[in-house]
Amino acid sequence: MKQLYSYYPEFNDIDELLWMVYEQTSDQIVAQFFFEEDAAELCKFLEKGGGFAGFTPNFILQRVPVQDINQNFQAEFA
């Protein structure tokens, strides 16, 4: 049986070593970790049918920018 997921090391823009979890069927990175054990654990979970069975929708992987509204809130309601 062909594996749907794999993981491999890669350096990011600031030279941190990350472990990338790659989904074969969708040709996309579905997660990244600082520790190899975490990447291996996720691959094992996904291979056993967790997640989207090899077809993770692209919109789920998009990052949403986080905004800190505490300063504005405190200024408005102080």
Number of domains in the chain: 1
User: What pLDDT shows up at residue 67?
Assistant: 67
**Which residues are within 8 A (CB) of 4 and not within 5 positions of it... i.e. 6 or more apart?**
23, 24, 25, 46, 47, 53, 54
What is the extent of the structural domain holding 70? 5-77
User: Tokens standing for 57?
Assistant: 């929708």
Q: What are 14-62's pLDDT values in tens digits? A: 999 999 999 988 888 989 999 999 999 999 999 988 877 767 777 667 6
User: What pLDDT shows up at residue 33?
Assistant: 95
Burial label for 5, CB within 10 Å (0-12, 13-18, 19+), is buried
User: What pLDDT shows up at residue 17?
Assistant: 96
